[in-house]
Amino acid sequence: MASSELIEALQALAHERKIDEFYLIERLEASLAKSYQHILDLEWDARVTIDRSTGQIYVYELVPVGEPDEETGEYSEFEERDVTPDDVSRIAAQNAKGVISSIVREAGRQSIYEEFSSRVGDLVTGTVLQGTPDFTIIKIRDGVEAELPHYDLKRNPSERNERPGNEHYRHNQRLKTLIIDVRDPNSDAPKMRGEQARPSIVVSRTHPDLIRRLFEIEVPEIYDGMVEIKSIAREPGARSKIAVSSREPNLDPVGACVGPKGSRVRMVVEELRNERVDVIQWDENPAVYVSNALSPAKVTRVTIDEDNHYATVVVPDDQLSLAIGKEGQNARLAARLTGWHIDIKSASFAGEPPAVDNMLIDEDLPADEELVCAHVSEDGVRCRNHARPGSRYCGIHAGDEA
């Protein structure tokens, strides 16, 4: 390859890959310097320069001048001795292909990092290109690919699994994913296995914020800030709970998220491959919040221990299994959603009479004696239900007034 042809090829490659032409040439010069030092068996380091207009290549040996530094033993001044071989262009062409491929790959990864590092947490839509047992490659756009890892964490504890267990992908399938990481090519952190051959962008289908972004798309009130998602608890592929509140007093946040005939939440559920999503009302009163979080179970009473961050919940006997959920899933998600440790007891186990009005009592809040049922059991225990309006007794003990 003639010198002029080499520089033209570099310019065309830089334009095609949107890489700075001078940066590409500087990297090539540095790489060729190491190659020529080995090829020419030079005693000292080499320096290579490429004429930016003609493409002519010059090789110099950096011969030290003077005495080395007494402390470091390094030379500070060098004399450049021209050692350019006659077949310099041929040798350069032989080494340029691998060097340029490496430079282009690194420059591409750096360009992707600069563009996407500020987009961590964003929702992106891509197309499945190919899948392996350990990860799926997703095309975000031309020239930009992302990795959705689903490693076996028992065999690869240092890797990630960002795919719900119930999902499997096919070629050309479109997916909405959440960007959770962009690998920095210049980072000093330990490299992952095969990182140089893997896409820089890492995406997830299991992250709780994926649900947040999907609701922002489907619910304008969330996007506009009138409805706020306070908390999310998720078991990917199975079930999720989100707590929402409204900044507008006359706006129902749960209704806004569910949509007419459930149309809005249905779109989110379909994107999550039929993962069940419960939308509940957030409340600043922790007793009410915990009760709502255990939906669809109905709660009789919630007792709050703020010092230990502990909530004791009493439910009717026929609601106990619903409150706990399959393999404890409902209770587990409610605890994760609210941040409270929740202990669920049936009414018969707690020694409570069956509740009619599903009242909540928070022991840490001051209670007006006149609002509490006046009934006292044979054991001397005061009924904890609220009294009916105009009466001193609740609906269960209304007969005591006679």
Contact 110, 117 (CB under 8 A): no
d(CA 395, CA 4): 97
Closest CA to 358 of 301, 398, 303: 301
For 323, left (φ over 0), alpha (ψ -120 to 50), or beta?
A: alpha
d(CA 366, CA 371): 11
Contact 309, 343 (CB under 8 A): no
pLDDT of residue 381: 60
Contact 68, 55 (CB under 8 A): no
> Which tokens is 189 given?
């952190």
E strand or H helix at 63:
strand 57-65
Contact 261, 200 (CB under 8 A): no
**Where in 183-322 does DSSP place strands (E)?**
201-204, 227-235, 239-246, 276-281, 301-305, 310-315
E strand or H helix at 65:
strand 57-65
- Token pair 């962008």 is found at 201
pLDDT of residue 357: 43
* Number of Cα atoms under 13 Å in the Cβ half of residue 204: 20
pLDDT of residue 29: 86
pLDDT of residue 189: 65
> Which tokens is 358 given?
């599903």
* Number of Cα atoms under 13 Å in the Cβ half of residue 381: 8
Grouping H, G, I as helix, E, B as strand and the rest as coil, residue 238 is coil
d(CA 92, CA 49): 12
pTM to 2 decimal places: 0.70
pLDDT tens for the chain, 402 residues: list them: 556 777 787 778 777 776 778 877 888 888 888 888 888 888 888 998 988 878 788 889 998 888 877 778 787 888 888 888 877 666 666 666 777 777 777 777 888 898 899 999 999 999 999 998 999 999 999 889 999 999 999 998 888 999 998 899 999 999 999 999 998 887 766 666 666 678 889 999 999 999 999 999 999 999 999 999 999 999 999 999 999 999 988 899 999 999 999 999 999 999 999 999 999 999 999 999 999 999 999 999 999 988 889 999 999 989 999 999 998 999 999 999 999 999 998 887 755 555 444 444 444 433 444 456 777 666 556 666 666 666 777 666 666 665
Which residues make Cβ contacts (< 8 Å) with residue 193, sequence separation at least 6? Answer: 156, 159
d(CA 148, CA 273): 16
pLDDT of residue 358: 43
**Torsion 108-113-119-120 (CA) sign:** positive
